[in-house]
Amino acid sequence: MPIVPANMQTIINDSIAEFLAENGYFYIMHRFDGAARIPFVKKMKERQLISSISVGVKKEEYLFVEELAKQGLVPDYITIDIAHGHSNSVIEMIQCIKARLPETFVIAGNVGTPEAVRELENAGADATKVGIGPGKVCITKIKTGFGTGGWQLAALRWCAKAARKPIIADGGIRTHGDIAKSIRFGATMVMIGSLFAGHEESSGETKIENGVAYKEYFGSASEFQKGEKKNVEGKKIWIQYKGSLKDTLIEMHQDLQSSISYAGGRDLEAIRKVDYVIVKNSIFNGDTI
User: Any binding-site annotation on 190?
Assistant: yes
User: Is there a binding annotation on residue 79?
Assistant: no
174 appears as a binding residue in the annotation: yes
- Is 100 annotated for ligand binding? no
**Catalytic residue (one of 111, 138, 160, 245):** 138
Which residue type occupies 15?
S
Check whether 91 is labelled as a binding-site residue.
no
186 among annotated binding-site residues: yes
Tell whether residue 197 is among the known ligand binding residues: no
Is 104 annotated in some ligand binding site? no
Q: How far apart are CA 28 and CA 107, in angstroms?
A: 10
Our answer to whether residue 138 is catalytic in this structure is yes
Tell me the residue type at 49.
L
Q: Is 188 labelled as part of a ligand binding site?
A: yes
6 is in an annotated binding site: no
> 97: annotated binding-site residue?
no
Catalytic residues: 138
Binding site membership for NADP(+): which residues?
167-190
